[in-house]
């Protein structure tokens, strides 16, 4: 056999346990056999020589991109496919709680619903969120899992300390059906060691304690390190999950970051030295104020001026973010469409607080189960969207046809009320 775990070499065969070989031979039915063939072949191509049992999965393949995905999922259902581990579902292409939010022709809407139903039929949980960690799906430190969706992967690895590679459509459900994943990459100790140190000491403490800084830092990080593992030094020890969520989502969008460490904050990085595994870094990068300004400029494709909509919640808005928005928006009235995308679990929680009633009175439209960059929700086909999300800023022009303007949450609220970009100069001074 040539190649070994984590080398990226091509293995001639993957060693299977007696139980795994039996599944491959059809002992658990045709769907499980199909899934095991997919997982085993993926392991071979990735250079793994064995599989690893997983404790859970998160599925990105439930988002409609074409009829082929529907046909694949429905075949698994016909073959009596059933997930072997707790499995949550990423966003779909419909807002099932608010029929009519998503526009589209009858075929697209029907196929989107069929796809979502197929995954439910296989025993997946109807979470429909890109932030399953906000819906109670929080694997333990060191737990092996198979997660799809780039921000969810970054959060699971980095903030929770679980272990997953970036699992794409169809491989994710295959792993869930057999409870196994290729034992390669970030499932292994060696691949999780940081090789790059990111030094933020040249940035002011005030900037590092600003919510709007973290999507910018993440956007810079993805471009700077690609798919390498970095440890970020100098961020406040009280850095919140929402800030880490924003950092990871942006880094996974502009780069292929699946794991980052933050010294003194994330579980595998009590110190920089621990994150490096006692080895010297291959590279040290010092982030300068000029780097921040340059990256901030890339997050807007339109000049400040009139806006046509505001969208928040990529990744999905959390309870704490709703609390902040409620305080800022209460008693206001937005003059442009103002969307907040969130998971149904969080929506239920904040509705019980009474916040949704106040936000709707201000003109907020909540979107559940999906978001404005993967489903046709925005008005018209062109315009300018303002957002506080680095992920929205990265993907909006290519997926919606809208230009985009990045700003802080406070600037989004002020701009949504004014119908034009309002900059709060103290934010970036």
Query: Residues 393-417: pLDDT tens digits?
Result: 999 999 999 999 999 999 999 999 9
pLDDT at residue 425 in the model: 77
Say whether both 238 and 171 belong to one domain: no
pLDDT at residue 12 in the model: 57
Task: Confirm whether 66 is domain-assigned.
Answer: yes
pLDDT at residue 380 in the model: 83
Largest distance between two CA atoms of the chain: 68
Task: Confirm whether 4 is domain-assigned.
Answer: no
Task: Confirm whether 424 is domain-assigned.
Answer: no
Say whether both 90 and 149 belong to one domain: yes
Contact criterion met (CB below 8 Å) for 133 and 156:
yes
Could you tell me the pLDDT band of residue 57, with boundaries at 50, 70 and 90?
very high
Please choose, from the candidates 354, 361, 341, the residue with its C-alpha nearest in 3D space to the C-alpha of residue 131. Answer: 341
Lowest mean pLDDT across 10-19, 251-260, 322-331: 10-19
Could you tell me the pLDDT band of residue 427, with boundaries at 50, 70 and 90?
confident
Contact criterion met (CB below 8 Å) for 150 and 252:
yes
Say whether both 325 and 391 belong to one domain: yes
CATH classification of the domain holding 326: 3.30.499.10
Say whether both 220 and 353 belong to one domain: no
The pTM of the full predicted model, rounded to 2 decimals, is: 0.95
Task: Confirm whether 84 is domain-assigned.
Answer: yes
pLDDT at residue 381 in the model: 79
Task: Confirm whether 366 is domain-assigned.
Answer: yes
Mean pLDDT to the nearest integer, 199-218: 97
Mean pLDDT of the chain: 95
CATH classification of the domain holding 122: 3.30.499
Say whether both 107 and 56 belong to one domain: yes
Could you tell me the pLDDT band of residue 50, with boundaries at 50, 70 and 90?
very high
Percentage of the chain exceeding pLDDT 70 = 97
pLDDT at residue 2 in the model: 29
The boundaries of the domain holding residue 58 are 18-190
Contact criterion met (CB below 8 Å) for 14 and 40:
yes
Say whether both 25 and 149 belong to one domain: yes
pLDDT at residue 266 in the model: 98
Say whether both 52 and 125 belong to one domain: yes
Total domains, the chain: 3
User: Which of 143, 161, 190 is the last residue before a domain boundary?
Assistant: 190
Burial of 358 (0-12, 13-18, 19+ CB in 10 A): middle
Query: Residues 180-194: pLDDT tens digits?
Result: 999 999 999 999 999
Say whether both 97 and 162 belong to one domain: yes
pLDDT at residue 13 in the model: 87
Say whether both 61 and 181 belong to one domain: yes
Query: Residues 279-320: pLDDT tens digits?
Result: 999 999 999 999 999 999 999 999 999 999 999 999 999 999
User: Which of 235, 269, 297 is the last residue before a domain boundary?
Assistant: 297
User: Which of 190, 206, 225 is the last residue before a domain boundary?
Assistant: 190
pLDDT at residue 288 in the model: 97
Say whether both 265 and 377 belong to one domain: no
Contact criterion met (CB below 8 Å) for 162 and 140:
yes
Task: Confirm whether 158 is domain-assigned.
Answer: yes
Residues 6+ apart with CB under 8 A from 238: none
Contact criterion met (CB below 8 Å) for 62 and 172:
no
Say whether both 173 and 259 belong to one domain: no
What six digits make up the tokens of 305?
A: 């001026």
pLDDT at residue 145 above 50?
A: yes
pLDDT at residue 11 in the model: 38
pLDDT at residue 3 in the model: 34
CA 332 to CA 359: how far, in whole Å? 9
Task: Confirm whether 9 is domain-assigned.
Answer: no
Say whether both 179 and 200 belong to one domain: no
């Amino acid at each position: 056999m040539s190649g070994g775990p984590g080398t990226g070499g091509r293995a001639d065969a993957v060693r299977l346990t007696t139980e795994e070989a039996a599944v491959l031979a059809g002992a658990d039915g045709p769907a499980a056999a199909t899934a095991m063939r997919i997982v085993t072949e993926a392991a071979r191509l990735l250079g793994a020589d064995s599989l690893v049992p997983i404790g859970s999965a998160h599925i990105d393949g439930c988002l409609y991109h074409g009829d082929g995905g529907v046909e694949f999922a429905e075949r698994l259902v016909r073959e009596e496919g059933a997930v072997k581990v707790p499995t949550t579902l990423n966003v779909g292409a419909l807002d099932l709680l608010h029929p009519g939010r998503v526009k589209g022709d009858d075929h697209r809407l029907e196929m989107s619903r069929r796809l979502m139903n197929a995954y439910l039929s296989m025993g997946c949980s109807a979470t429909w969120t890109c932030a399953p960690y906000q819906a109670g799906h929080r694997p333990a430190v060191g737990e092996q899992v198979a997660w799809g969706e780039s921000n969810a992967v970054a959060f699971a690895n980095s903030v929770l300390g679980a272990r997953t590679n970036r699992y794409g459509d169809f491989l994710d459900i295959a792993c869930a059906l057999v409870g196994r994943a290729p034992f390669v990459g970030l499932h292994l100790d060696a691949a999780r060691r940081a090789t790059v140190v990111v030094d933020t000491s040249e940035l002011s403490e005030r900037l590092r304690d600003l919510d709007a800084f973290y999507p910018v830092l993440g956007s810079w990080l993805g471009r700077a390190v690609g798919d390498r593992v970095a440890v970020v030094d100098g961020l406040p020890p009280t850095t919140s999950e929402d800030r880490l969520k924003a950092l990871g989502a942006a880094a996974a969008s502009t780069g292929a970051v699946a794991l980052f460490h933050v010294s003194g904050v994330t579980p595998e990085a009590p110190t920089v030295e621990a994150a490096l595994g006692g080895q010297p870094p291959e590279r040290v990068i010092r982030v300068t104020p000029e780097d921040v300004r340059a990256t901030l400029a890339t997050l807007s494709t339109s000049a400040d001026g009139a806006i046509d909509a505001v969208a928040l919640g990529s990744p999905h808005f959390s309870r704490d973010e709703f609390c902040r928005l409620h305080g800022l928006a209460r008693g206001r009235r937005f003059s442009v469409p103002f969307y907040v995308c969130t998971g149904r679990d969080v929506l239920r929680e904040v509705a019980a607080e009474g916040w949704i009633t106040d936000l709707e009175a201000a003109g907020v439209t909540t979107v559940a189960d999906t978001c404005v960059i993967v489903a046709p929700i925005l008005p018209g086909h062109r315009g300018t969207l303002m957002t506080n999300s680095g992920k929205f800023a990265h993907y909006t022009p290519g997926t919606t046809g809208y230009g985009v303007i990045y700003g802080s949450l406070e600037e989004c609220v002020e701009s949504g009320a004014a119908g034009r970009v309002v900059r709060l100069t103290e934010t970036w001074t």
